Amino acid sequence: MTVAINVTQVSKHFRSDKAALSDVSLTVNKGEMVALIGASGSGKSTLLRVIAGLLKTDKASSAKVDVLGKTLQASGQLAKDVRQQRAQVGFIFQQFNLVNRLSVLLNTLMGSLGRIPKWRGLLGLFYTADKHLAMQALQRVGMEHTATQRASTLSGGQQQRVAIARALVQKPSIVLADEPIASLDPESARKVMDALADLNKEGMTVLVSLHQVDYAIRYCKRTVALKDGVVVYDGPSSELTPEKLDKLYGATSASEMYAFPSNDRSTSVSTDNTVQPLAANA
Ligand SMILES: Nc1ncnc2c1ncn2[C@@H]1O[C@H](COP(=O)(O)OP(=O)(O)OP(=O)(O)O)[C@@H](O)[C@H]1O
Ligand SMILES: [Mg+2]
């Protein structure tokens, strides 16, 4: 199996006394869709940003992040070709980061900025081929009908799907999504997770951080759980029973990790990586 992401002994301190990440090691194979769960402050965003090369690790000699077989950063130093390497990694933020006053199409086209010469991007010179690609990406997430609308006119869920289209235009091999459904209603959350699952079915590697463990179980075969910057679980999502979560996080914290009430938690991830339907009231 080919390795997409390899994180070795990564620690990150923002302040000297408290580690946001503590000796984290993690391997994600190409084609996997992996959930990263954990309470607020457990280090999910920090880890995703480290993997994307947006943040440097501590300078420990052993710390290393490899992406698609190339070292992206080691011992707290970014590789010289980090910009090219970053182009292979799409990043989806919790807060969409769309430019409100620009159209959906232009926002989507922004995804190609990593690939085209800077001056073309600055001048807003996108070729027909770029636009075609952007429209295709919008179609993939069911948002093509909004292409000419201002981003500010879309709902949160719609904006997040445009953010996914923008990441697609970048043509990445890996998508890192940082709590892409945190601020969405269940219906929008489902559409966003479906869009990510579709990409994964076509071979894209997806690492997605989630607050709610039920989405991890429904959409990802494997879950990595963080607690206070430490990996406390890395294995099949199906084994993350309420009892197991209680053990990992304590009953009070664990009970806050569900989006749906307990009688609606029956759906589990299937073994062939297909997405299970959400319950009718989800
Ligand atoms: N830029 C920063 N400067 C200082 N401390 C930071 C910074 N970013 C994160 N931290 C700290 O690092 C720890 C991990 O934060 P991180 O944002 O990675 O957690 P998270 O799991 O993504 O939380 P959430 O679910 O709230 O998004 C927290 O204690 C946080 O306060
Ligand atoms: Mg976060």
Q: Which ligand is in closest contact with the Cα of 47? A: 1
Atom of ligand 1 nearest to the CA of 226: 21
Distance (Å) from CA 50 to ligand 1 centroid: 12
The token duo for 251 is 């009953």
pLDDT at 263: 63
pLDDT at 148: 95
| Integer angstrom CA distances of residue 44 from 40, 47, 48 | 8, 5, 6
Q: Which residues line ligand 1 (CB under 6 A)?
A: 14, 20, 38, 40-46, 211
Domain ranges of the chain: 1-88+175-268, 94-171
The residue whose C-alpha atom lies closest to atom 18 belonging to ligand 1 is 43
pLDDT at 78: 96
Distance (Å) from CA 219 to ligand 2 centroid: 19
Tokens 């076509």, residue?
202
Contact 36, 177 (CB under 8 A): no
Confidence of residue 230 (pLDDT cuts 50, 70, 90): very high
- Cα separation, 29 vs 5, in Å, equals 7
CATH 3.40.50.300 applies to domain 1-88+175-268: yes
pLDDT at 27: 98
The token duo for 195 is 């869009």
Between these two residues, 94 and 21, which has the higher pLDDT value? 21
**Per residue in 62-78, pLDDT tens?**
999 999 999 999 999 99
Confidence of residue 276 (pLDDT cuts 50, 70, 90): very low
Distance (Å) from CA 55 to ligand 1 centroid: 12
